[in-house]
Every structure is written in structure tokens, then in C-alpha cells.
Amino acid sequence: MTVFPAALLNGHAIGDCTKWLGPDRHIVIYYVKPDRSEVHFVTSQPEPGFTAESWSAMGDVKELRAAFADCHPQVRHVPAACPAVHKWALVDRDPLPRWCDRNVTLLGDACHPMTPYMAQGAAMAIEDAASAIRRRPCHTTRPFPHSALRSIRARGHRFCAGK
């Protein structure tokens, strides 16, 4: 993953948001500023021995380019233009035993993490919030999150532990 100045593309055109999918890998490329002066891309490809849990680990640009060497010219051009990349491992996590503590409630991938594809974590946060709102008892006088999440727990979900 990286963000870099679009000027490094040397005039090579990219779409507003381009997704390229292939066996065991993908890349998503898009501009991050309205003036199209910066490009962001994120990739996924296998690297079985990499397990570092870090958001700031540096990747090897040459390895990244090699991983996409047989792809479409645009896919090759964008990594070729970037000066540096970061990488992080995708790891499995057990569900949290509870999602709230007093007046703090976690939603989305903060409490049930998902792989970072197509905004699934954000989608889960929206779904969690909608579920909490739908299950909130209308007659309650308790503050919203606690009453709604307690209602969800009563229906068999492990949403909230405590009082």
C-alpha cells in the first residue's frame, strides 16, 4: 500500500478507481485528492512467511513489482512509478467476548475484524448500527447504546456483556 504524487506516473492515465483481480492477488488504484495530484493503491498477494503485525512495516518495491509483472500494463505502471510501499499481514482474530464497556461500544471491524476488501469493515459498522437501532426498545429510559445492545444480547447475540 502506498500514496505517492501522481506526477510520478509521467502522464500515464489511470481511472478514477480501478480494480484489477487475478489469481491470488488484486490491486485497487485511485486518486485521493480532488485535483488528482496523489495516487493511492493497495494490493493483496500471498507472502506465507510474513506475519509482522504493523501498519508501518516497509515493503520491497521490487518484490511488489515482480508479483504483478504478468499483469495489465496499467497494473505494472503504477507500482513501477511508486517510490516506496508499506505492507501488513492479514491475520485471523477470534471474536471479542463483548463489544461494549459502560458508555463505549465498538462496531464493525473494531470488534469483528474482516479482511480489508471492498470496505467490508465499514459495511459491518453500518450493519451493526442498523441492527442496534432496530432492536432498541421504544419504551426504555436507559441510554441508547446500553439498552439497544442489551436487547441484541437477549436475542442470542454476543454483542454486549455486563449489566
> Which residues are known catalytic residues?
30
Q: Look at residue 58 and give its three-state secondary structure.
A: strand
Q: How far is 39 from 27, CA to CA, in rounded Å? A: 13
Q: At what angle do helices 144-154 and 120-134 cross, to 10 degrees?
A: 90
What is the end-to-end Cα distance of the chain in Å, rounded?
42
Contact 1, 43 (CB under 8 A): yes
Nearest to 1 by CA among 74, 49, 48, 54: 54
Tell me the three state secondary structure of residue 127.
Answer: helix
Taking CA atoms, 23 is separated from 42, 91, 141, in Å, by 16, 20, 53
